[in-house]
Structure 1
Amino acid sequence: MKKYNWGMVGTGWIAHEMADALNAVNGEIYAVADVKEEMLKKFATEKKISKTYSDPDRLVEDPNVDVIYIATPHTYHYEYIKKALNAGKNVFCEKAITVNSKQFDEVQKLAKEKNLILTEGFTLYHMPIYNKIKKIVDDGALGDIKLVQVNFGSLKDYDPKNRFFNKDLAGGALLDIGGYATAFARTFLAEQPNVTLTTVKYFETGVDEQSGIILKNSKEQLAVMALSMRAKQPKRGVISGTKGYIEVNNYPRATKASITYTEDSHTQVEKEITAGDAKEALHYEVEDMQRYIEQGHDDGQLSISHDVSHILSNVRNAWGMKYPFD
């Protein structure tokens, strides 16, 4: 596979993981940018990146950059995605790719017009186990899919000043962890939901601390989600049909799934499937992104991100919660 010149914007904790994956898969990282020069220099030295920019716009304008990876806070994603696409760069952006569906629709349209790849950094899109799970579902082994249940509970330290709780930085559980749950649900629903029922508990800063969400589509399939930033939950997803169910633990970076076939109300047959390595999760992201560029399409991943973005916006609209920049 061709070696690409990746440029990184942002040097936070997830950027450290991605830099390791890029060095392992691609061999090197071409350049990195961050407005905080001390962090930039330390990051570049640690990850063996020779080219640095204290102004991210200059990295975007660098004609040698093939792909831009964006790992800034949510509020800057839209701005840098647009700049990168307009500069002719393919873009891999961390979740949430944009803070609302209006922004998403704009960058999706721009990527299509520019004939460039735009991908969102959800690990579950790329873990090999999901190819096996999708085949089981698509082959009808579970019968008609009726219900998807999915949880994500993260216990963030109590700190109203942290970005996770900062409304100006698009904080809250929905955009931080809810995207994973929603992406899992949407992946296994036959079509986009058209009904949203939800309730929310707010943190003192005005962002969503925890919520319950029920989605339904025209095929009467349901998705039930529970999210929290102040109570740990197992990252557990269940896909249930008329002939059985699949249980996926640690679903963002899953490597195994348990299948229970329910031939009738009394008889159950259990089976386990495995694939992939959780430690390689970001390697799979890099490999897929580079494959998308080579083949000229993204295997439909951006269309799932489109639906997820619209679901998240619908949920927030139902709450009446707006960010200052909405």
Structure 2
Amino acid sequence: MHENLNWAVLGTGVIANEMAQALQKMGKSLYAVGNRTHEKAVTFAEKYGVSKVYDKIDDMFYDDAVDIIYIASPHNTHYAFMEQALLHGKHLLVEKSITLNSRELDKMIALANEKHLLLAEAMTIWHMPLYQKLWEIVKSGELGKVQIITMNFGSFKEYDMKNRFFNMDLAGGAMLDIGVYALSIVRSFMDETPDDIVSQWKASPTGSDEQATILLKNGSGQMATVALSMHSKQPKRAMISCEQGYIEIMEYPRADKAVIVDANTGNVREIACGDTANALYYEMLDMENAVKTGDASSMHLAYSKDVMDIMTRLRKSWNMKYPGETW
């Protein structure tokens, strides 16, 4: 492992750009980039002063100079890339959803453990300072027990069946694209993972999940409702209702503000923490610290696994399977 950890990124989309900028905030440069379309990788490298562009993506896995790979390609390509990277000794931060389903994730967790490598999902919620502050407040007991969580997330996407939002060949759909955020918040504020789950869903013209409502309950009686849509706008709103008050978070997942309303007095206090613009910076800082110290608790892979198990269970109940997917 190099003292100044070398990052490579697989993909050149929006997230890869943000990731390169986050590294610059950390006072370092992205070491290498690989992309299916080579010219895009070259342009990306010129933009961010990246020292290495791979002719073939596979060359990234064989490069001894690479310590951590950030996988920012479409969901359905993650598994094959992750397997190659782990087999060649690379730590991995993988864009959400980390895999298509639980079978894939369980296999990759086992491989990472066997190779003594760090595997994590690039889930903004685990790293934004606001959530860490809110988890502390909830754990302190000052609001009483978490009783019910209400989650909304909806965006209006045009019915362009070739784009990734509806394209089954790119693992499109509300669950893996936005549901993963809503369920990650649910899981992080619950004392244990929900195991009693019912849902309804509506398919888009391609057969992807366009809309869903989900009800969840865990063993200690905590409940959640989740409403997702890919073809109607909703606020990105989370409400965590406790016995003595409720927390409202707007514009999750990259939130830097929340309000807490006291159930008895109606008093409202605002919690402001962190900065939305630094979302990727927090993620990558935590990943570097985890690799250097060997303490991966800040990466919350166990939560990512619980969320993946819920999403897989839901899609199985809908029989909404992607082309070539093996459950």
**Shorter-chain-normalised TM-score: which range?**
over 0.9
SS at match of 2:213: strand
**Matching of residue 193 in structure 1 with residue 191 in structure 2:** no
Superposition deviation, residue 14 in structure 1: 1.4
Separation (CA, whole Å) in 1 of partners of 2:103 and 2:43:
36
Letter in 2 for 1:168: D
**Whole-Å Cα distance in 1 between the matches of residues 262 and 109 of structure 2?**
39
> What CA RMSD, in Å, does the superposition of the two structures yield over aligned residues?
1.3
1:273 and 1:24 map into 2 onto residues whose CA distance is 25
Deviation at 1:26, TM superposition (A): 4.8
Deviation string 1:25-62 (CA, Å, 9 cap, x unpaired) is: 15111110012012111111111112101311111110
CA deviations on 1:172-223 (whole Å, 9 max, x unpaired) are 0110111000101100111111111101111100000111011111111111
- Where in structure 1 do 4 or more consecutive aligned residues deviate above 4 Å? none
Tell me the equivalent position of 1:33. Answer: 34
Give distance in 1, aligned partners of 2:213 and 2:305.
21
Q: Deviations over 1:74-96 (max 9, x none)?
A: 11101111111111110011000
Match of 1:303 in 2: 302
Q: Distance in 1 between matches of 2:262 and 2:304?
A: 30
Contact 1:35 1:54 survives alignment (8 Å) = no
Unaligned runs of 5+ in 1: none
* Alpha-carbon distance in structure 2 between the residues aligned to 1:86 and 1:154: 38
Q: Tell me which amino acid in the other structure corresponds to 1:309.
A: M
Displacement of 1:2 after TM fit? 4.7
Secondary structure at 2:149 match in 1: strand
Q: Distance in 2 between matches of 1:89 and 1:251?
A: 30
Amino acid at match of 1:291: N
- Local SS of the residue matching 1:235: strand
* TM-superposition CA deviations, 1:229-285 (whole Å, max 9, x none): 11111111111111111111112111111001213xxx3222111110111111101
Q: Does the 8 A contact of 1:40 with 1:54 survive in 2? A: no
Q: How does 1:141-290 map to 2 (within 5 A)?
A: 141-263=142-264, 267-290=265-288
Compared CA separation, residues 154 and 2, structure 1 to 2 (3 A):
farther
* Aligned mates of 2:182, 2:190 — CA distance in 1: 13
Q: TM-score, normalised by structure 2?
A: 0.96
Partner of 1:55: 56
User: What secondary structure does 1:252 align onto?
Assistant: coil
Deviation at residue 157 of structure 1 after TM alignment: 2.4
Distance in 2, matches of 1:154 and 1:305, equals 23
Q: How far has the Cα of 1:114 moved from its partner?
A: 1.5
One-letter code aligned to 1:234: P
- Cα distance in 1 for residues equivalent to 2:204 and 2:122: 26
**Does structure 2 conserve the Cα–Cα contact (< 8 Å) formed by 1:216 and 1:223?**
yes
The answer (yes or no) to whether the contact 1:155–1:232 under 8 Å persists in 2 is yes
Distance 1:79 1:23 in 2: 29
Q: Secondary structure at the match of 2:214?
A: strand
Post-superposition Cα deviations, 1:127-168, rounded to whole Å, max 9, x if no partner, equal 001111011100111111110111111222220111211112
Letter in 1 for 2:267: V
Does residue 320 of structure 2 align to residue 321 of structure 1?
A: yes
What is aligned with 1:92?
93
Q: Distance in 2 between matches of 1:319 and 1:214?
A: 15
CA distance in 2, matches of 1:81, 1:26: 27
Q: In structure 1, what is the Cα distance between the partners aligned to 2:14 and 2:136?
A: 34
Question: Following the alignment from structure 2 to structure 1, what is the Cα–Cα distance between the partners of residues 17 and 304?
Answer: 24
Residues 70-127 of structure 1 show CA distances to partners (whole Å, capped at 9, x for unaligned) of 0111111011111111111100110000000110111111112222111111111110
Cα distance in 1 between the residues matched to 2:232 and 2:263: 32
User: Match for 1:302: what amino acid?
Assistant: L
Aligned to 1:114: 115
Counterpart CA distance in 1 for 2:177 and 2:114 is: 29
